[in-house]
Amino acid sequence: MTAPHRALVPRALYVISLFTTALVFGLTLCHVLQAPGSRGLGPREWLDVQHTFYGGFAILGGSAEILGLLASAGLGALLLRRRSRTAIPILFAAACLFGTLLVYWFGNRPVNGLIAEWTPQTLPADWSTYRDLWENAHALSTILAGLALIAVMTAMRPLAVLDSVRPSRGEGAVRRH
């Protein structure tokens, strides 16, 4: 494989990792920013908002988390194989994105399942406990996504992916057209 082609895969994985991690951070940050308003709602209004506004977040956010995890883990493995120090922050980003998925599965998803079944008549008296759990899980996801984004952004200077691609012996020494 020629040096330019060897650089294409890590660059593509880096761009995917950067874009999806930024998207995950942005989506989770939206939840955190709306939390004060959510905490000011009464039970019926809060339930109405939950049933109305958040469907797209799960689909887009979940897809971005999975794609970002795969791209970051793939890039990290590739860079680790090439003995590049930039593998460490990229693998850290992958671990943080895995953490956001764990927070979703063990924090948000169970609460989402309950909320989906509730009606204004069946809303439990301790509904605010579930609201707070839901909000806190999103805050934790935001911290993890923010750490992942910082790791991805600082892992590589512009063109650092190219710097980590070293031609093997004899490769790149003579170009033949």
CB–CB of 6/165 below 8 Å? Answer: yes
Give the mean pLDDT per block of 10 residues along the chain (177 residues): 68 91 94 91 92 79 90 88 83 96 94 92 94 95 97 72 51 45
pLDDT, position 62: 82
Single pTM value for the model: 0.82
pLDDT, position 51: 87
How far is CA 42 from each of CA 31, 46, 65, 89, 120, rounded to the nearest angstrom? 18, 6, 32, 43, 11
Domain positions in the chain: 3-163
pLDDT, position 100: 95
